[in-house]
Every structure is written in C-alpha cells, then in structure tokens.
Structure 1
C-alpha cells in the first residue's frame, strides 16, 4: 500500500533582503535564519512585517534582491518555484471546483513520475492521513471549510516535499474549527517529521503548533525562540505585547548583583533576572496571569482600585487603576470575592516581571 514519506530538509537564509520594484523600503531586510529539518517553525508578526514575503522567497514565488537562500544545504536563491522541492498550502485552499477531492489531491502527481495507479494510491494515502478516507468522490463544494483545508494539506503532502509551507492556513475557519485543524496539522507534522514553515498573525495559533517562533516587525527579526522563551522572556516591549498580553510598567533598577537586579516598581521591591541591565530607569513586562490580587494591607504590594471585574467562565478578568497606570490581571479563582470600586493590593509572582531591552 502507498504511503507518504518525509524528505525533510533544512532551510537557511543568509542576510536576505527583498525590495519590490523601485521602492526604497525593503519588505525584508537583512534576515538570517536557520530552520532545522523536521521542525515546525512559525513566522509571526503584524500585517506588513515581512513574514509572507519571507515564506514566498522560500517557495521561489519571490526572488531575493540580496543574500542567499539554501534548502537542504543547496543554494536555491535563483531557482524558480518549479525547480524547488517545496509545497505550499494557501489561505484560500485553491481547490479546483470541477474536480473531485481525489482528483484534486492527485493533480500535482500527474506532473511527476507517478503512473495513474501509483498516483491514485498516493492520493488515497494522503486522504487517509488527513482523516478524509471516504471523501474522495465528493466535490469541494460538498465539504466544510475545515475539510477543504485538509484536502489542500493532503495535496501538498503527497508530493513529499523537502519543505511544506503554510500561509495563514486557518484564517477562514471559525475559532473552534481552527483549534481542531491546527492540532491535526501539528500531529501530521510530528508523525512524518516534516519541515514546516508556518505563517500566521495569530499568537495563540503560533504558541500552540510551533517548535520555534520567529517574530518579525518592520521587515526584520526581533526575536527567535521557543514558544515558552517568547512568552516568559520577551526581548522587548513589542514582543511582550504581541505574544499574548502584557502590562508594560516603568521601574527603576536600583542595583545589579551578578545576574540579579534589585528593582523598584513603585513601592514594590523585586529581585529578578538582570538580563544585562545596568542600574537606572527601565521598563518591565508582567503577564496578566502573573499579577496576584491580594489584600491592600499585604506587604510589598502595589495599591490599586478595581475599575472592572469580568467573569468569562474559566477565569476572572480584572482592570485595576494604580499610580503606575491601569493594570490588567487574570485569575482562575472565579469565586474571588471582589467587585468594582474595591481597594486591592497587587503582588507579583517571582517568575512574573521581566526587564525589557529598549
């Protein structure tokens, strides 16, 4: 029986820049990155940051203005898309409406060395892999959005590419379906040890599926790391605010002892990782779930007044007015006896606040 195999290869950018036409503003500027074979790496950032252009340069749909692109160690910088062993899953699915599901999946195989029988077996293996075994004779119009997206994934998988690319693949699906399909994509990627480069502007999606996340802004990479690295140790205010929510607060680094900084946050004293900071004014980020709501009489707390308390089922969302500005806090204690107008104290978990570079 036919099966889908992995031909996973690494991807490398060496100081790559892309400028469109006569523009003086690069879409991608001096980007260097390395994606290990068999890993899922997400390019994340706001619209216009350069992530889709980077993806299209891997595919060969755009050619780099300067720099070098390697796939599996081979220089593909000047190769067109047709000469790269890369498959792409588009946001729009791009299925042929007059073809059956099986014919859509077989389509790319017609231009390879597969005969009709082998192509049919490969297509069926692809449909089995994405959970659409009995859907081969249906037309795309007879499928849900999530099923159509899985057909597009199967069509890309059967070509057994060195690199599989996803361009905002879930943006047309509702929230619950997005979660289900992203789990399927991650499961397939891990099962086959595929090299996947995934583009999204959805932070939760990126955190859920990625081995690594490359955050881009204004055509450059601003941080590259694991989902936990980026969430717990954001490099700057942009990353802190873009990867989940964060309270960005002014503080004073009073002293640095080795790798530990003594920090004054209003009346609150903290000892946290220095992250190369010297004494002086600074800013720190605190995730809402790392803010501890306590009694205003508690020691080493920031006093505030509750402006808003919102029950959202699994947790409470709190907006607290303080001398340092408005803070957003989240607590899983949905039975916490608090109400708007009440005075509270705010404490900060030991692993909560993070000093930011400017």
Structure 2
C-alpha cells in the first residue's frame, strides 16, 4: 500500500493587504508573517478579524490587493488555487453525497491525473491514517459528523500538499467530539510533519493544537507566539481576554529599573517584569487561576468581599468586589469555607499579574 508523505513548505506574507471593493476598511491590513515548514500555526480571533480571508489568500481563493505571498520560497501571489500545492478542509466538509467514502477520498487524485490503481492505494492509506479502514463503501449520510470530518481530512492528506489548511474544522461537532478530533488532527500533523494553518475562534482549541498562535484583531495580528507565551504574557487587554479569561485592573508604574517595574495597585506594591512599560498609568492582566484568596487582613493583599461563590465540580468560581472593580477567581480548594458576604484578602503569586499597556 502507498504511504502518505509530507511535502511541508513554509508560508510567508510580505506586507499583504486585502480590501474588498466598496469596503471602507481592509479585511487584512498590511500583514507580514512567517510560518515554518512542519509546524501547526493557528489564526485565532473573533468574527470579522481577517483570519479566514488570510487563510483563503494562502489557498489562492482570494487575491491580495497588495503585498507578496510565498510558499516554500516561491512567489504564489497571483497563482490561482489550482496551481498551488495546497489542500483545504472546509467547515462544511464538502463531501460529495452521492460518492462512497473511498470515491470521495480518491477524487482529487483522479482529478489531478493519477491512475486508478495509485489513487485507490493512496486513498486506502489516507483512510488508514485517520482510522476509517472498513468504511470505504459507505456514503457520507451513513457516517457521524466526526467520521465525515475525518474523511475530509483524508481527502486533503492524500494529495500530499505543501500546506494543509483548516477552516473552523470542528465547529459542527459537539464538545466531546471536538476534543477527540482535534487530538487526531494534531497527532497526524506531528506524525507526518505537515505544515498546517488552522483557523478557529475557539481559544481552547487553539491552545490545544498549536505550535504557534497568531491572534488577529481588526485586520491585523495583535500578537504572535507560542500558546504559553500568549497565555502567560499577553501583549494587551484584547489578547489577555481572548486567550482565556483575565481580570484587567488599573494600576500605576511607579518606577522602572532595568527589566523590573515597581507597580502600585491601591496600597499594594508589586515587583513585575517591566515589558517595556514606562512610568505612569498601566493595566494588570491577572488570570483567575492565579489569584490567591484567603482571610482578610493578611499582609500584601488587597481587601475584597465575596459576592458570589459557585461550586462547579472540580473548583469554586468566586466573584469578589474590590476597590478596583469586580475580580473573578478560581479556587481548586473546593472544601474552603468561602461564603457570599465574607471579607477576604486577595493576593498575587509571583507569576500572577502581567503588565500590559493602558
């Protein structure tokens, strides 16, 4: 049986802009990016941020208004989709309902000129890779949503593209199945060393599958980094709140010495990485899981009052009123004697708050 190979290639955008006729603002505004061969990079952001337009420009389904696009070092800016070595897995799967699974998977191979025997061999290899051996004769209507998604992935893989594109691939699946299929996609990508560009608006999905995440907002890239970098050190309030939940608190940078800033939050003084912040007003981003809740009056804490305590199985969710606004915290001490109305002290561990721009 044939094997599915990787022809992974890099993707580069050089000052790419896309403006649709009649639009007052560009859909993608002067983006430069570099995606390394063999990596899974996610474009993450809210609806209308430009992520799907960016993906479609890689595919050749949209042409940029200006700038250059390169795949594997080759300028493909004006090449149509048919002349690019790229495959896309669509949100709707786009399977042919009248064709069997094996016919769907081999269709692209037959269309591109492979003989019947080779197309069948590679199609069988693709189905084996996604765990659907034995499903060859079924029609799409006889498959579950997750199985249809895997057929779509197999159909893309057998073409051995330089770049594999996913456009919101899990949005039609229920939560449990989404988790299972995203693990399969990541496993296949890692095993074959594929270059994958993955579009989603789901931050948990992005954190789970990505080597790197490019967070997009208002047609530009707000921040580019590894999942941990974006979670631990968001660039601004938008990224902090989009990559997981975050409390955004007003603070004051009192002084900066080298890479360390002295930050005042009410009566509390904190020493934090300066992250290029200057003396003056700033904001702190604090993850709910990185807040310490204890009895009121402890040193190095700010005072608060519990407004709501919710038990959700593995942890408690706490809403705390403070002089700095409401704070949302998570406590894994489910036996802690917290009750609404209690006075508490809010502390921050060393790797808790992160300075961001005001």
Q: TM-score over 0.5 for the alignment?
A: yes
Shift of 1:111: 1.8
Quote the Cα distance in structure 2 between the aligned partners of 1:332 and 1:96: 48
1:126 corresponds to: 126
Match of 2:91 in 1: 91
Within the alignment, does 1:232 sit opposite 2:232 as a pair?
Answer: yes
The Cα shift of 1:255 comes to 1.2
Query: Structure 2: how far apart are the matches of 1:304 and 1:8?
Result: 53
| 1:242-253 aligned within 5 A | 242-253=242-253
Structure-1 residue corresponding to 2:33: 33
Could you tell me how far 1:112 is from its partner in structure 2?
2.3
Aligned equivalent of 1:211: 211
Deviations 1:148-183 (Å, cap 9, x if unpaired)? 000000000000000000000000001110000000
Q: Secondary structure at the match of 1:5?
A: coil
| Equivalent residue number for residue 139 of structure 2 | 139
Write the distance in 2 (CA, Å) between the matches of 1:327 and 1:43: 29
Structure 1 gaps, min length 5? none
Q: How does 1:7-156 map to 2 (within 5 A)?
A: 7-156=7-156
Residues 294-320 of structure 1 show CA distances to partners (whole Å, capped at 9, x for unaligned) of 111210111111111111111111000
The answer for unaligned runs of 5 or more in structure 2 is none
C-alpha distance in structure 2 between counterparts of 1:103 and 1:262, whole Å: 65
Q: State yes or no: 1:353 paired with 2:353.
A: yes
Calculate the TM-score normalised by the size of structure 1. Answer: 0.99
For 1:342, the equivalent position in structure 2 comes to 342
Give distance in 2, aligned partners of 1:45 and 1:173. 19
Question: What are the superposed Cα offsets for residues 84-111 of structure 1, whole Å, 9 maximum, x if unpaired?
Answer: 0000000001001111111100110012
Q: Bigger shift: 279-288 or 59-68?
A: 279-288
CA distance, structure 1, for counterparts of residue 334 and residue 158 of structure 2? 48
| d(CA) in 1 for partners of 2:278, 2:22 | 43
Which residue is 2:272 aligned to? 272
TM (norm. structure 2) is 0.99
What is residue 316 of structure 1 aligned with on the other side?
A: 316
Q: Offset of 1:256 from its aligned partner?
A: 1.2
The number of equivalent residue pairs is 358
SS in 1 for 2:134: helix
**Alpha-carbon distance, 1:349 to partner:** 1.0
1:197 paired to 2:197:
yes
Q: Take 2:325 and 2:199, find their aligned partners in 1: how far apart are those partners?
A: 34
1:8-29: CA deviation from partner (whole Å, max 9, x where unpaired): 0000000000011132310000
Give distance in 2, aligned partners of 1:341 and 1:131: 54
1:276 Cα deviation after fit: 1.1
Counterpart secondary structure, 1:133: coil
Distance 2:347 2:109 in 1: 60
Q: How many angstroms does 1:113 deviate by?
A: 3.5
Instruction: Provide the secondary structure at the position in 2 that maps to 1:135.
Output: coil
The 2-side partners of 1:13 and 1:278 are apart by 32
Moved more, 184-193 or 300-309: 300-309
How far does the alpha carbon of each residue in 1:45-84 deviate from its partner, in whole angstroms, 9 at most, with x for none? 0000000000000000000000000000000000000000
Listed one character per residue, the Cα deviations across residues 184-232 of structure 1 (whole Å, up to 9, x for unaligned) are: 0000000000000000000000000000000111001110000000000
Partner of 1:178: 178
